[in-house]
Structure 1
């Protein structure tokens, strides 16, 4: 036997004798997630999971939405294996599942209650009935407004406002000298940031991303009306520097009492009504997302979900964690720690069948309706070749919508005119679609 062999045996014997070796090996799970409030709660509550699973340690990589998407996309497409659990959405799940980049979630225990997941949500995370991610929370887009400011101005928010009505309200509410802005909207560039909102506005104004032949329609009358309306309204009645504001920035503004209205994700309802976070928790009202010539596609549908990359070498441990984090028991843990209204919304039928939840949660009804009525297969009054309300579930969408988002954010910052950037964007998107083989464009 070699000297190295003797040394290893001696070290092993001493370790056993002195009890310095752990009883079982530690499993380290690396989790990539977004820095939204519900995920921050998950990170805090996961200490409970680690206490129940002393052989597991969780390594968190928490990033802003745009950076997270870049990191995860690079890792998953190169089979990098950096992550064991990833937070993805309704855009990535079906595409990555179809490419076998995600582990199919099958034969889940009956106690998990797969049938309790909202059908509209479960469908977004599946390919041909095969589930590739489980929903952490789901959302539509809704209108938030300050009930006290509306009352002081003698205004009444309709249950189904139009964008024209929203603009009129914003003008009356806008008092920057008092630190109150008529409306807060996403302006930060990104296909999942400003373009989530802008696309629903385009839908509401009767537009679409592509016609039936995959020809872009960005340089269309509907896009020009919608985007000019958006830029003009937010420039006139929004906070300073709106091109820097995404979901989290606008949430902070609303909670500080600075927004008369805000159109964004329904998941924010738990935060604007939280007395520990909001300065106006009892002054928040809720209505449907604004429509214009149509309500079709005027409210987005999104799911933040947990999935396991096929490249992870810790499949079973990763599965055990994501089932815990999306379980009914996890929802009950959130309710115990933060209140019943803080339960992850939009995922389980049982949540909305709970009278206590409905009574304690003023935004529950409008959230549920937004999720159940959104139709990703028909997001426009015109026929479309794609699936998705505020996005098109094709690989090229991330790039083309990010490009258009940067252009629109630049117009919002006053760098160029809307009509010019839409014309330029049309050509750029058309070239991308041609190179990708969607049609033989001339």
Structure 2
């Protein structure tokens, strides 16, 4: 083991020895998720190896997306590195807004990146953003509460089973809610979850002629099922809860089940952070018997905007932060369960990492997502929990506000869907799709 760490350290040093002619200060925009915050605590290692310093701009998910989109589209030049995802990367790359990552070092081993993740961050075979972590979604659940309810969680459950279990596990008097799901409005918040969920119910955003589909029975079934489930078994104030809020609720022991990003597994099983760390089980995201599960595919990745004057230093940081050596560094400091997941085949071949209780289910979930065929019926778009067109972020944010308002009891499912249909039709017509 010591020899392996020494080799990784030597390889890491060799990556950066050539690039230290002039020290730079890099400004990096990132999301306030746990893995990114952990990376900030380890950047002294990067500075020691390269001489470059780092200034962080750490933002809540919705705010980050607004800031980096505005900056890159207006050529604002505020950031040398941006944290973006599978939605933005191909669109921005085709616009010429991102520097290609086509000359990464041999030690970096780009072919080790999981194909589903690498393909989602590439255009015509060229990588434009390097994945810091990859994820799908899955069920995280309290094994003790499931047992007390007299139920056994299948590896691949149905939505009907999840609903039954959520209702049986709910104990409002003691502040335990059967299920916690995203309700906070945002194309990457509640709409990521609801779009993935709708896939499993046979719904889709658009038909093959780009006609919006919110007026269909499949979307009505999706939204009605979600609202009923959350009203009967969800926490109060759920319309304000996104990833971080639900993570906190689960760690406090207040959720029987939580369906969300696989990356959360290390946080809910960490005894330093979670009161239920030894009681957590994992299962695939639910289905409705139609051949599609409700799991998504995503990667938070690091990209270089073409406007930066510090591209060489930015490339060095990306190699450091997304390398095999970085995974070893986190393992050394924090333990293998806390390394950024979902990016490299070598991680899942590592017998030490295989001991973590969530490694196998994470990989199964990532491999079961199909961005090229995300829905039961045919669609003209790719993307599992998003539609890979530039207009989607704006449209889905507005739709998310309507669905969040329905969860808050401000309107019915029918009213929310009617508004979603109308605003999406207007936006697509204005954009020239109709």
The alignment's TM-score, normalised by the length of structure 2, stands at 0.94
1:358 is the counterpart of 2:366:
no
Offset at 1:49?
1.2
Q: Which runs of 5+ in 1 are unaligned?
A: 1-22
CA distance in 1, matches of 2:63, 2:202: 32
The 5 Å alignment of 1:296-375 reads 296-359=292-355, 361-375=356-370
CA distance in 2, matches of 1:212, 1:302: 24
Q: Deviations over 1:261-295 (max 9, x none)?
A: 00000000110111110011110000000111324
Q: Deviations over 1:68-102 (max 9, x none)?
A: 00000000101111000100000000000111100
CA distance in 2, matches of 1:321, 1:298: 34
1:41 is the counterpart of 2:38:
yes
Contact 1:147-1:285 within 8 A present in 2 as well: yes
CA distance in 2, matches of 1:112, 1:295: 37
The 5 Å alignment of 1:77-226 reads 77-226=73-222
Offset at 1:297?
5.0
1:263 is the counterpart of 2:259:
yes
Contact 2:285-2:293 within 8 A present in 1 as well: no
CA distance in 1, matches of 2:431, 2:369: 29
Residue 412 of structure 2 is aligned with which of 417, 422, 432? 417
What SS does the corresponding residue of 1:300 show, helix, strand or coil?
Answer: coil
Offset at 1:52?
2.5
Match of 2:3 in 1: none
What SS does the corresponding residue of 1:304 show, helix, strand or coil?
Answer: strand
Offset at 1:218?
1.1
CA distance in 2, matches of 1:145, 1:106: 41
Contact 2:26-2:310 within 8 A present in 1 as well: yes
Match of 2:280 in 1: 284
Contact 2:207-2:380 within 8 A present in 1 as well: yes
Offset at 1:51?
2.5
- Change beyond 3 A, Cα 1:351–1:62: same
1:235 is the counterpart of 2:231:
yes
What SS does the corresponding residue of 1:122 show, helix, strand or coil?
Answer: helix
CA distance in 1, matches of 2:394, 2:234: 28
1:252 is the counterpart of 2:248:
yes
How many matched pairs? 415
CA distance in 2, matches of 1:24, 1:334: 27
What SS does the corresponding residue of 1:212 show, helix, strand or coil?
Answer: coil
Match of 1:438 in 2: 433
CA distance in 2, matches of 1:297, 1:176: 29
Residue 66 of structure 1 is aligned with which of 41, 59, 62? 62
1:31 is the counterpart of 2:34:
no
CA distance in 2, matches of 1:217, 1:278: 40
1:429 is the counterpart of 2:424:
yes
Offset at 1:153?
2.1
Contact 2:134-2:263 within 8 A present in 1 as well: yes
Residue 392 of structure 1 is aligned with which of 372, 383, 387? 387
Query: Which structure's CA Rg is the greater one?
Result: 1
CA distance in 2, matches of 1:155, 1:261: 13
Offset at 1:213?
0.5
1:383 is the counterpart of 2:405:
no
Contact 2:108-2:324 within 8 A present in 1 as well: yes
CA distance in 1, matches of 2:274, 2:297: 25
Contact 1:297-1:389 within 8 A present in 2 as well: no
CA distance in 1, matches of 2:257, 2:21: 54
Q: Which runs of 5+ in 2 are unaligned?
A: 1-19
Contact 1:297-1:375 within 8 A present in 2 as well: no
Match of 2:47 in 1: 50
Offset at 1:25?
5.7
What SS does the corresponding residue of 2:294 show, helix, strand or coil?
Answer: coil
